[in-house]
Amino acid sequence: MIDFSYSELQDNVRQMVHWFAENEVRPIALAADRTHRIPDEFIRKVKEIGLSMGPVPKEVGGEGGGAGEKKDKKGTRQNNRLSVIGAEEMAWGDPAVILCLPGPGLGGPPVNIMGTKEQKERFLGIFTRPEPLWGAYGLTEPGAGSDVAGIRTTAVKDGDHYLLNGTKCFITNGARASWVVVFATVDRSKGRAGHRAFMVEKGTPGFSVGKLEEKMGLRASETAELVLDNVRVHQDNLLGGEAYYEGKEGFMGAMKTFDSTRPMVAAMAVGIARAAYERAVEFAKEHFELGRPIGRYHYVQELLARSKRRIDASRLLVYRAAWMADAELPNAKEASMSKAYAARTAVEVLSDVVQVMGAAGVVHDHFVEKWFRDIKVYDIFEGTGEIQRIVISKRILKDLKSF
């Protein structure tokens, strides 16, 4: 009924990415956190070996990610499972670095889900070029984060173009991206039915970077404010075309993106928690209090045991949500469950690890202190824990009309 083993491909990916995380990512992580940037030579190396943030479908010249790609022995697609396995291992190496990898990033899923064939070729095909390039996803606004339905960026039709006005914030790789998927509304009175998604290309007049954020954690990852001031976008850049938006497809496109990306974000949280847990286990074996290893004390044992079982439970939730996505089963509830549980678990695990390690866990320029700063945002971005619980409860109580 349930197979807990990795396929040959999954295990190969896990081992390869772990080796890379241990030997290439960990050595640069602390310096990248201090300088707030990833070395150019590392980005070039990543590009050369084919690692990217988000798959590029074979139909546009990439290595995979299209329908029917990379099937398991039962004939089920396994792209999402491969993604969460790789995400955990890379985040184990360093969570900020994984967000800086070249590729379509969070902008890739909406293009794959909503885009026409021509748009996929045009906007995803660029990632087959030898130079490192980035895509980005522009949904969050100063007054609309978790409340996605409340976006205020406007899109006004002007002949065969749209004029976009508004501000997007906390956009990963927003300043370096070749294009950004920008969500806007053509009519706020229509609510979600008024949402549209536009491909806004770097260099478009009126499209500018407002500021780069100074953050508590993930400091090597670029997080930008983007300003749209009468940005003129051709209707060919309306993702999916006019016919796609009969009903609430713009909003649903944004939500479907989260169904595939939330398990990956949850997997990153698992990777960070696992890295910290492993460091705490080593510490408990090597450090002594009152003449014996601290791992001999019941309190320390309880903290480590609790961390281990929560990490393992989180990973299983992630794998279930990813398997459902691969099997093309509705997984909104399961994706939110994995994100809500794994992110909160990781925050609690890091707190327990710092408790085990004491002063050694909060010393600046040590990994545990860095991970402690990094982890909190995983309970916030891609939908806060509170939003995830609303999504879960709505799916559970879907037959209650007044809910």
Looking at residue 144, its pLDDT comes to 75
Which DSSP state fits 178?
A: S
Report pLDDT for 400. 67
Catalytic residue from among 141, 222, 225, 382: 382
Cα–Cα distance measured from residue 127 to residue 111, given in angstroms and rounded to the nearest whole number: 13
Residue 307, token pair as written in the block: 């961390």
pLDDT tens-digit profile of 293-305? Answer: 777 788 889 999 9
40 phi, psi to nearest 5 deg: -60, -35
3-state secondary structure of 234: strand
Domain 250-396 CATH superfamily: Butyryl-CoA Dehydrogenase, subunit A, domain 3 (1.20.140.10)
Strands 179-185 and 135-138: parallel
Q: What is the DSSP secondary structure assignment for residue 94, as one 8-state letter?
A: -
Q: Outline which parts of the chain fall under CATH 1.10.540.10.
A: 8-126
List phi, psi (to 5°) of 172: -65, 130
CATH superfamily for 135-246 is: Butyryl-CoA Dehydrogenase, subunit A, domain 2 (2.40.110.10)
pTM higher than 0.85 for the full model? Answer: yes
Q: Which amino acid is present at 263?
A: P
Q: Which residues of the chain register pLDDT less than 70? A: 1, 58, 61-70, 247-254, 288, 290-291, 365, 399-403
Region(s) of the chain under CATH 2.40.110.10 = 135-246
Q: Is position 382 annotated as part of the catalytic site?
A: yes
CATH of 8-126, one of 1.10.540.10, 3.30.360.10, 1.10.3720.10, 1.10.287.990: 1.10.540.10
pLDDT on residue 67:
40
DSSP for 37-52? Answer: S--HHHHHHHHHHT--
- Which residues are CB-neighbours of 312 under 8 A, at least 6 positions away? none
pLDDT digits (tens, 9 = 90+) for 196-247: 999 999 999 999 999 999 999 999 999 999 999 999 999 999 999 988 887 6
Written as six digits, the tokens of 392 are 């879960």
Long-range contacts of 82-86 (CB under 8 A, 24+ apart): 82/9, 82/10, 82/13, 83/55, 83/264, 83/267, 83/322, 84/263, 84/264, 84/266, 84/267, 84/318, 84/319, 84/322, 85/6, 85/10, 85/13, 85/14, 85/17, 85/267, 86/13, 86/14, 86/17
Coil/strand/helix, residue 170: strand
Please give the single-letter amino acid code of residue 298: H
Burial of 1: CB neighbours in 10 Å, binned 0-12, 13-18, 19+: exposed
**Residue 22 DSSP label:** I
Query: Where does the chain hold its CATH 1.20.140.10 domain(s)?
Result: 250-396
Identify the pLDDT of residue 77.
82
| CA quadruple 309, 312, 316, 319: dihedral, nearest 10 | 160
